[in-house]
């Protein structure tokens, strides 16, 4: 069983709000409110159980208890490498390595990030529910957010659905790109693959990817670029690991920086990224864009926390 208790002190601004209105204004979904209604100890005001229609008064204290009977006990704990960038009572942020699937699937029962997280909690003697908020492909590196309880999962999933979680990628490309640009090409699933995507002007959905050149190695004719999707507003250039956040109901922003670019030999680069796998970017070709960072901001006071890369 997993329990999370949150207490709210009711102020004048919430006077006469129903419990349901109060909670929904703080990110609780309809499904989560229904879950609390079914638990006799889910909603307590000044030590007395209440219904969601109860009208709150200034000075009252509302205690919310999130109880989960089922955990992710079916995920096998395996002692795999796990790089934790940030952790508090609401979220766990992991720097996922390339080649590691996020979820168990056919043929991947004991070599996933979920197995590593299960081992981490097993060593702590704590039950857990595996909730990956954002998604990363198996061969993509980057930051992954795990929600520790139902409320943080609600808030973060809502932000994900509303596209308020921004993702940025980094790549090395052959040739010298422009300082910055935008690629507007429709993308569709490659026939016969459930993962691979390609530009498809006939069946693809519209897509817009912005990029800017970070550096260029003239001797190897390689550009190091940043890519991101959206309205053209570029994410800020962060410190190695940067987290802004007061709580899951306030604000949150994080980014990770790759190690200083080490130029590989041309033969290695071309062996690692064969031309058939390249994507054309304004006359040059790129492959393997690791997940560099992700961010979102919600209203509320901000606390700035700086973290250094682990390992």
Cβ proximity of 47 and 78 under 8 Å = no
Cβ proximity of 282 and 214 under 8 Å = no
Backbone φ and ψ for 260, nearest 5 degrees, come out as: -50, 135
Which tokens is 261 given? Answer: 């670019």
CA-CA distance, 41 to 64, in Å (whole number)? 8
Nearest to 29 by CA among 147, 132, 150: 150
CA-CA distance, 159 to 135, in Å (whole number)? 14
Cβ proximity of 214 and 225 under 8 Å = yes
Backbone φ and ψ for 63, nearest 5 degrees, come out as: -110, 125
CA-CA distance, 280 to 46, in Å (whole number)? 63
Cβ proximity of 52 and 134 under 8 Å = no
Backbone φ and ψ for 86, nearest 5 degrees, come out as: -155, 145
Element (H, E) at 242: strand 241-244
CA-CA distance, 42 to 51, in Å (whole number)? 10
Query: Which residue do the tokens 């097993």 mark?
Result: 122
Instruction: Report in angstroms the alpha-carbon separations of 95 from 65, 67, 127, 248.
Output: 30, 28, 22, 20
Q: Active-site residue numbers?
A: 137
Nearest to 143 by CA among 155, 151, 135: 135
Query: Which residue do the tokens 């490659």 mark?
Result: 190
């Amino acid at each position: 069983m997993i329990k999370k208790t949150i207490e709210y002190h009711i102020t004048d601004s919430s006077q006469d709000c129903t419990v349901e209105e109060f909670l929904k204004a703080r990110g609780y979904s309809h499904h989560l409110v229904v879950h609390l209604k079914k638990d006799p100890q889910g909603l307590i005001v000044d030590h007395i159980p209440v219904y969601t229609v109860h009208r709150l008064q200034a000075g009252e204290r509302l205690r919310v208890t999130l109880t989960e009977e089922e955990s992710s006990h079916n995920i096998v704990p395996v002692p795999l490498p796990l790089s934790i960038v940030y952790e508090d009572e609401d979220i766990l942020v992991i720097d996922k390595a390339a080649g590691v699937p996020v979820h168990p699937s056919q043929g991947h029962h004991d070599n996933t990030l979920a197995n590593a997280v299960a081992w981490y909690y097993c060593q702590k003697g704590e039950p857990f529910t595996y909730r990956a908020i954002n998604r990363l492909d198996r061969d993509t590196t980057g930051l992954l957010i795990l929600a520790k309880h139902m409320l943080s999962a609600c808030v973060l999933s809502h932000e994900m659905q509303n596209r308020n979680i921004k993702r940025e990628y980094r790549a090395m490309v052959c040739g010298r790109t422009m300082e910055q640009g935008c690629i507007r090409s429709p993308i569709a699933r490659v026939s016969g693959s459930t993962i691979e995507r390609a530009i498809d002007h006939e069946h693809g959905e519209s897509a817009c990817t912005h990029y800017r050149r970070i550096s260029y190695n003239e001797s190897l004719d390689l550009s190091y670029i940043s890519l991101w999707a959206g309205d053209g507003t570029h994410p800020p250039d962060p410190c190695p690991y940067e987290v802004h956040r007061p709580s899951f109901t306030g604000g949150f922003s994080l980014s990770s920086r790759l190690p200083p670019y080490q130029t590989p030999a041309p033969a290695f680069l071309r062996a690692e990224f064969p031309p058939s796998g390249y994507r054309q970017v304004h006359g040059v070709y790129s492959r393997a864009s690791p997940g560099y960072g992700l961010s979102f901001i919600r209203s509320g006071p901000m606390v700035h926390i700086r973290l250094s890369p682990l390992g």
